[in-house]
């Protein structure tokens, strides 16, 4: 994760343009509360049970869900 540098003493449009671009890029990589999460077939959703076991959730072409311990 990259962090923003300290702002310049005087207004510098290049600095702020770069800062806003970094913020926008970071938001694009994170999930926002209240928004849908969509994964493609090359990505996985892994959840953790109360005992710490990790499960990968998968769906087939007919919509049937399955889990696999990972």
Report residue 62 CA to chain centroid gap.
27
Pick from 16, 13, 40: nearest CA to 5? 16
Query: Which pLDDT value is given to residue 34?
Result: 80
Query: Which pLDDT value is given to residue 67?
Result: 95
Considering the entire predicted model, what is its pTM?
Answer: 0.51
Query: Which pLDDT value is given to residue 63?
Result: 92
Residue 51: band (very low, low, confident or very high) from pLDDT cuts 50, 70, 90: very high
Pick from 46, 67, 49: nearest CA to 58? 67
d(CA 25, CA 59): 29
17-50 pLDDT tens trace = 887 888 877 777 777 778 888 888 888 899 999 9
């Amino acid at each position: 994760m990259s962090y923003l540098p300290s702002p310049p003493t005087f207004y510098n449009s290049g600095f702020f343009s770069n800062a806003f671009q970094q913020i926008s890029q970071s938001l694009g990589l994170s999930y926002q509360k209240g928004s849908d999460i969509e994964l493609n077939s090359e990505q996985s959703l892994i959840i953790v049970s109360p005992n710490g076991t990790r499960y990968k959730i998968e769906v087939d072409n007919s919509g049937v869900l399955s889990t696999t311990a990972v």
